[in-house]
């Protein structure tokens, strides 16, 4: 399985990149590469400021929208960024997904699918699936469509505006929770006392219900999320249980990996909709 994953990542152009700035100059040339570096630096600073101090009425989910759009202005740029930030992460997630074969049947929605790398992996690995990638960024959807065309994947579609008129058999949610549950600027969060599991459950309740609304009775949610805090993760699990999901025994996995310049902790778990 490890060889299959490595071949897939190599096939789409994911490679080891230790310095994104150097990779941009090597790929685009000095002049254009430096323009990209300058603009990305501005957008990263803007994104960090918005997450830290807020932006008035702009919801947390959209505070990094300009950065996401820039990184997905082309498939070439998107794969460079993914190689730097997500190469190891993708590999670990694909290893997990490959062990969840019994849960991938019928219609699959990938919510927050980004550039479609994981979506296309699932579509290729499970060709009997009917796969829909859901993503807010129009640029990311364009990149995902180009990737699917390059890979000649016929059982996948991507959309930025169309909410499916039906429920799915399996919902895949990868790194979507924090963008959908954080309602305060991070500087305010830092001043708060740590939330109890009960408060964390309330915090995650709305998004848990939104996820549950997309899944058929006895369907499944495959969840992979970044959580360093145990009470926060327990709050997510409790909220999902109250929304009608039950954790499937033996599907829990924890892993840490390099995420850009940082090391991040992730939790994966499959739930059944009861």
Average pLDDT of the segment spanning 216-223 = 98
245 DSSP β-pair partners: 273
Q: Answer yes or no: is pLDDT of 134 > 80.
A: yes
pLDDT digits (tens, 9 = 90+) for 25-42: 999 999 999 999 999 999
pLDDT band (50, 70, 90) for residue 165: confident
| Domain ranges for the chain | 2-83, 88-273
Domain 88-273: homologous superfamily in CATH: Vaccinia Virus protein VP39 (3.40.50.150)
The dihedral sign for the CA sequence 211, 214, 217, 222: negative
pLDDT of residue 59: 74
- Burial of residue 226 (CB within 10 Å: 0-12, 13-18, 19+) is middle
Which percentage of the chain shows pLDDT scores above 70? 99
133 DSSP β-pair partners: 110, 158
Q: Answer yes or no: is pLDDT of 131 > 70.
A: yes
pLDDT of residue 19: 94
Sort residue 144 into left (φ over 0), alpha (ψ -120 to 50) or beta. Answer: alpha
pLDDT of residue 193: 86
The overall pTM is greater than 0.85: yes
257 DSSP β-pair partners: 264
Average pLDDT of the segment spanning 153-159 = 96
pLDDT of residue 190: 80
pLDDT of residue 22: 97
Cα angle 181, 114, 138; round to 5 = 100
Looking at per-residue confidence, does 49 or 251 come out higher?
251
Q: Considering the chain, what is the average pLDDT of its residues?
A: 93
pLDDT band (50, 70, 90) for residue 2: confident
pLDDT of residue 260: 65
Task: Tell me the residue ranges of DSSP E strands in 112-214.
Answer: 130-134, 156-159, 168-174
Q: Answer yes or no: is pLDDT of 195 > 80.
A: yes
Q: Answer yes or no: is pLDDT of 1 > 70.
A: no
When mean pLDDT is compared across 104-108, 122-126, 187-191, the lowest value belongs to 187-191
pLDDT band (50, 70, 90) for residue 179: confident
């Amino acid at each position: 399985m490890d060889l299959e994953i490595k071949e897939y990542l190599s096939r789409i152009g994911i490679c080891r990149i230790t310095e994104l700035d150097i990779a941009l100059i090597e790929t685009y040339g000095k002049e254009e590469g430096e323009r990209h570096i300058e603009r990305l630096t501005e957008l990263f600073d803007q994104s960090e400021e918005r997450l830290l101090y807020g932006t008035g009425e702009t919801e947390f989910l959209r505070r990094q929208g300009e950065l996401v759009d820039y990184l997905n202005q082309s498939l070439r740029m998107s794969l460079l960024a993914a190689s730097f930030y997500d190469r190891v992460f993708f590999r670990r997630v694909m290893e997990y997904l490959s062990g969840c074969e019994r849960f991938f049947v019928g219609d699959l929605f990938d919510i927050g699918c980004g550039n479609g790398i994981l979506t296309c992996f699932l579509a290729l690995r499970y060709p009997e699936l009917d796969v829909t990638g859901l993503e807010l960024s129009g640029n990311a959807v364009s990149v995902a469509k180009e990737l699917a065309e390059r890979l000649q994947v016929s059982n996948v579609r991507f959309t930025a505006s169309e909410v499916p008129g039906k429920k799915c058999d399996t919902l895949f949610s990868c790194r979507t929770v924090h963008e959908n549950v954080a309602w305060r600027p991070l500087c305010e969060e830092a001043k708060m006392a740590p939330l109890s599991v009960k408060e964390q459950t309330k915090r995650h309740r709305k998004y848990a219900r939104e996820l549950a609304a997309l899944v058929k009775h006895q369907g499944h949610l495959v969840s992979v999320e970044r959580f360093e805090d145990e009470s926060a993760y327990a709050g997510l699990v409790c909220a999902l249980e109250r929304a009608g999901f039950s954790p499937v025994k033996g599907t829990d996995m924890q892993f840490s990996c390099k995420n850009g310049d940082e090391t991040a902790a992730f939790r994966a778990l499959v739930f059944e909709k009861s």
